[in-house]
Amino acid sequence: MEHRGRIFFLLVAMVFLGTEAFGDGDGPLVLDYYKEKCPLLEEIVRHNVEVAVFKDPRMAASLLRLHFHDCFVMGCDASVLLDSYGGITSEKQAGPNINSLRGFEVIDEIKYLLEEACPGTVSCADILALAARDSVASRGGPSWNVWLGRRDSLEASFSGANQFIPAPNSSLETLIANFKQQGLDIGDLVTLSGSHTMGKARCLSFRQRVYDVNFRGEYELYDKYRRFTSFRRILRSICPKSGRNNDLAPLDFMTPARFDNHYYVNLLQGKGLLGSDTVLVTQDHQGEILKQVWAYATDEKLFFASFANSMVKMGNINPITANQGEIRKNCRFVNT
């Protein structure tokens, strides 16, 4: 009864909100894909994301990360949501995801409500794309138009999740190659790395560099040694040399629950948490990436506009459309 009551409330609200058509029709995804088939879609997703983030502010980063981890494996097809069943080995069990990815229950709740409002209509892949946008907006970040019409994968790729999702200790060269494989350029890499302005990371993701005796060489290029020394003491207090792998540290110690440009300020101060963050300024020997980091650190509006553009670009990685794949009834399992 609670679910039905919420649907009724949203139906009433929709009368006053109205809709707007943005259809293009030339590409595989369009802006008004569900205008007639499920006009309540965006309101349902937005409401549930806002409730989830209100209860747990960290959930905003988790939902954004779900979309990222989905798109980097076989494209944006909701393969990351599949549980192990039958011949499917879930991507959730892969190294970058196990005991790390969160937010599945939020997607389940949204899917349940959408199946009541417009059965068999909205793909789980489109839900992920919308939830990522609304998560960023809920924490003070930019919003953008999400192109829709994705369908859901009939399979998962455990090996792909282990292979294509960037590791927290990746070198700059590896990151550039990884993003290029997805059709994303260096500018997208620097921009999308800014998602680390909110959320937390496990000790397992950064402990090695915090206790590495050679850590000084990582920072000598930009003379951040002293700043990193004090930052390292804080991280060591959170993460002892052994054990407590799942203890958490904020990716951005300044404003960990807000989407802003402080991630780039942190990089310039030698306070990037992950090795894959730090390499943007320590391994960029040409200086072009450093210029982009400086630009975002000093102009939040520029970062927001660039982030919105890169998110749209990422959301268009190899979508399943037309008669391929399916619209899952339950995001965790293929239809029987």
Q: What is the pLDDT of residues 267-312, one digit of tens each?
A: 998 889 999 999 999 898 788 999 999 999 999 999 999 999 999 9
- C-alpha torsion angle, residues 174, 179, 184, 190 (rounded to 10): -70
115 alpha-carbon distance from chain centroid: 24
Q: How far apart, in whole angstroms, are the C-alpha atoms of residue 294 and residue 1? A: 52
Could you tell me which CATH number the domain at 2-164 has? 1.10.520.10
| pLDDT at position 21 | 33
Q: For residues 118 and 1, is the Cβ–Cβ distance under 8 A?
A: no
User: Which comes out higher in pLDDT, residue 242 or 83?
Assistant: 83
pLDDT for 225? 45
User: What does the pLDDT read at residue 8?
Assistant: 40
Backbone angles phi, psi at 326, to 5 degrees: -160, 175
pLDDT for 216 beyond 90: no
Calpha distance 250→256 (Å, rounded): 6
Structural contact between residues 90 and 156, judged by C-beta atoms closer than 8 angstroms: yes
Average pLDDT over all residues of the chain: 88
Surface-to-core class of residue 44, CB atoms within 10 Å of its CB (0-12 exposed, 13-18 middle, 19+ buried): buried
DSSP letter (8 states) at residue 142: -
Structure tokens at 226: 């002293």
CB 82 within 8 A of CB 156: yes
Joined together, the tokens standing for residue 45 give: 């997703």
Tens-digit pLDDT profile for residues 221-255: 444 545 557 788 888 888 988 878 888 999 999 99
Do the beta carbons of residue 144 and residue 91 sit within 8 Å? no
Q: What is the dihedral of CA 136, 71, 123, 19, to 10 degrees?
A: 40
Is domain 184-312 annotated with CATH 1.10.420.10? yes
Sequence ranges of the binding site for Ca(2+): 70, 73, 75, 77, 79, 91, 197, 252, 255, 260
Contacts of 104 (CB under 8 A, 6+ apart): 66, 81, 92, 331, 332
| Integer Cα distance of 308 and 191 in angstroms | 9
Say yes or no: do domains 2-164 and 184-312 share a fold.
no
Measured in degrees and rounded to the nearest 5, phi and psi for residue 152 equal: -95, 145
Residue 243: the pLDDT is 74
Is residue 326 within 8 A of residue 335, CB to CB? The reply is yes
Q: Is 50 exceeded by the pLDDT of residue 145? A: yes
pTM of the entire structure?
0.88
Q: Where are the domains of the chain?
A: 2-164, 184-312
**CA atoms of 167 and 162, how far apart (whole Å):** 9
Q: Which of 166-180, 200-214, 277-291 has the highest mean pLDDT?
A: 166-180
**What confidence tens digit (pLDDT) does each residue in 115-125 have?**
999 999 999 99
- For 62-74, the pLDDT digits (tens) are 999 999 999 999 9
> Has 285 been annotated as catalytic?
no
Lowest-confidence region among 10-24, 115-129, 136-150, 248-262:
10-24
Token code pair at residue 295: 């630009």
- Binding residues for heme b are 196
Annotated binding residues, written as ranges, equal 70, 73, 75, 77, 79, 91, 166, 196-197, 252, 255, 260
Cα–Cα distance for residue pair 80/276, rounded to 1 Å: 22
CA 311/CA 131 separation, integer angstroms: 12
Amino acid at 310: S
Tokens in use for 179?
């993003």
What one-letter code names the amino acid at 63? Answer: L
Annotated catalytic residue within 3, 69, 262, 285: 69
Residue ranges for the known binding site for substrate are 166
